[in-house]
Structures are given as C-alpha cells and as structure tokens.
Amino acid sequence: MRERISKLTQIVEIFSAKSLEDVEQLRLTYLSKKGEISALFDDFRNVPNEQKREIGQLLNVLRTKATDKINALREQLSDSAQTAETEDFTRTAEPLELGARHPLSLVKNEIIDIFSRIGFTVASGPEIEDDWHVFGALNFPPEHPARDMQDTFFIEKNPDILLRTHTSSVQTRIMTSQKPPIRVLCPGRVYRNEAISYRAHCFFHQVEGLYIDKNVSFADLKQALLYFAKEMFGENTEIRLRPSYFPFTEPSAEMDISCNLCGGKGCPFCKHTGWVEILGCGMVDPNVLKECGIDPEIYSGYAFGMGIERITNLKFQVKDLRLFSENDVRFLKQF
C-alpha cells in the first residue's frame, strides 16, 4: 500500500496537460469513482488497524495534491483560452474612460418618470413630417401668420415636407389613430430655423403631453402641472399661469414657476421677477379634435409642451445652449 501511494504521488507531481480534455482525462484516471486513487481508498479497509492512522494521512495528502494540481491545470488552460478569444491586442494602452448619460437624456427621463406616475405613456413619431401633421391638423390655416411663430425648415422643392417644429405632430398622429381616453407624452427632437447662439439653436428637444377624455377641464391641467413642478423642482415650488396664444389650444397659457434659484425673492436669473417661464399649455381647441376625428361635443382635452433644454438649464444652470450638442466630455461628465 505504502509503495503504491508513493508511486502515485510521484506521478501526480509530474501531471501535465495541453488541453482541457487532457485535464479531464487525468481526473477520470485518478480521481473519479473508478480512478486509481479512489481504488486505494477502497483497499484502505484491508489495512491493519495499527497502520490505519498513518496510511490514512498519506492517502488524504495524495488526494488533496491530485485535486489541487488538476484544478490548477484547468484554471491555467481556461484562462489562456479566454485571453485568446477576448483580448484586443490592437487596443491602445490608455485606460478606456466610461461615458456618462447626456444631461438632456437625464432630464427627459425624469420628466417621463414624473408623468408616467399619473398615467401618461410615451409615443414617438417621425422628425420629417408633412404640413398637415405639424400645422394643418392643429388649426394653423394656410398663410396664417401663426406659422411664423415657428420658423420652419422645409425639405427642398417640396413645401409639404418639413422638419417638425414641435412634437405636437406626434399628438396629431395619436389622435387620428387612437380613441379617447388618450394620455400620452411625446418627447423628441424638433427643428426651427434660428441663428445659433448661446440662447437659441436650430434644433432642440421637447416633451409635449396630451390628455383627452370626457369632462377634462382646465382644473385638471393645472393640477397635473402643479404636481409636475413640485416633483421636478421641489415641494415649495409655486406655479403661475399667464394667458397666451397657441392656434391649437383655447384658452392657452404659459406657465411660470417660482424661481428655483432664489425661491421667488428675485435674482439676476429671474430678472428680479421671482418667476421663470417653463412651458406652454391649454385646452385642446375643438377644431383640432374635429379635424382629427374626435367629437368635441363628447370629449375635451388639455395639452402642454416644454423644452427639455429649458428645464435642464433651470436644474443645472447651463449658460450656453451650444454645450448640449458639442459632445465635449469635460462638459458631459459633470452630470
């Protein structure tokens, strides 16, 4: 017995393998139930009692050695197999830096999150649109000066095809394809022909909302917007609605929030008024409902629209709009 053990110990010392299959073969030959080391354990029964202690120890040492050796070989071989498959040897030695979410995406997601808690779902639509979805259906008569409110980019030679100037076009698509109740948010990029400066860009991002059902009133609109303002800018935020004009809503309003920097006391940011404007809103004009196939005698609705850049500026005090589209990681990493 002693001899067999020392012979096997020598063999274990020189275990070697070129592949994972070799390793498995070693395991089968020596450690499996029918393996040579296991056979020694079977014979252990016949060892005279006075030798059991010593032989038992030798056997255990042998088995541990064999197991360790086989595990080590297996690890070595699977490591090198992985290296060959996944390492990119053309990569530079510089550590790769992780990116961060764009501030506009962060704020957009927060807006969606807040409104989804009161039942709004998200819809999207094309950025290249036709005149009817952007203007026609929304109560902008042809040649109406209101079209000048949103300086439009037209696709060359075809004045019917244009870049959407607001995501209200997605609301047109929803109203013409779904039946009320409708409660939807339309986030997305919009385009307006404006000179690029620190405070204007030829594209920006909006989230617009639309709610149509029986008996929807201006009070519902105000409640939803107050809830949004408090969730977004803090519990102490107040709102103020000022009468305004949009072709697709009647009555229309613009909403201010109490300046989130000075808390409404007045500071350079709010031009010492204590208020900052954040969105446009109103009750959907019955003409719009009719045009989209919804009976204004039965249904009413509210709509609102805000610029994501605007909300982001209020939250993070970004002074120059152009930073949002320059992709400078030094800027993007700060959020």
Query: Which structure tokens are listed for 134?
Result: 């952007």
Of 22 and 277, nearer to ligand PHE (C-beta) is 277
Of 167 and 237, nearer to ligand PHE (C-beta) is 167
Q: Give 180's Cβ-side CA count (13 Å radius).
A: 18
Of 9 and 176, nearer to ligand PHE (C-beta) is 176
**Burial (CB count within 10 angstroms: exposed 0-12, middle 13-18, buried 19+), residue 251:** middle
Residue with CB nearest ligand PHE?
305
Of 103 and 305, nearer to ligand PHE (C-beta) is 305
Of 232 and 308, nearer to ligand PHE (C-beta) is 308
Non-local (6+) Cβ contacts of 237 within 8 A are 229, 230, 257, 258, 260
In angstroms, give the least distance from the CB of 152 to ligand PHE.
12
If you search the block for the tokens 């992985």, which residue do you land on?
82
Of 69 and 310, nearer to ligand PHE (C-beta) is 310
In angstroms, give the least distance from the CB of 199 to ligand PHE.
16
Query: Which structure tokens are listed for 149?
Result: 């409110």
Instruction: List interacting residues with ligand PHE (CB under 6 A).
Output: 166, 168, 208, 246, 249, 280-282, 303-305
Give yes or no for a contact between 260 and 278, defined as CB atoms under 8 angstroms apart. Answer: no
167/125 Cα distance (integer angstroms):
8
Cβ neighbours around 255 below 10 Å, total: 23
Cβ neighbours around 270 below 10 Å, total: 20
279/294 Cα distance (integer angstroms):
25
Calculate ∠ Cα 270-321-221, nearest 5°.
55
In angstroms, give the least distance from the CB of 134 to ligand PHE.
10
Query: Which structure tokens are listed for 94?
Result: 């510089």
Query: Which structure tokens are listed for 80?
Result: 């090198």
In angstroms, give the least distance from the CB of 138 to ligand PHE.
8
In angstroms, give the least distance from the CB of 177 to ligand PHE.
19
Of 233 and 246, nearer to ligand PHE (C-beta) is 246
In angstroms, give the least distance from the CB of 303 to ligand PHE.
4
In angstroms, give the least distance from the CB of 288 to ligand PHE.
10
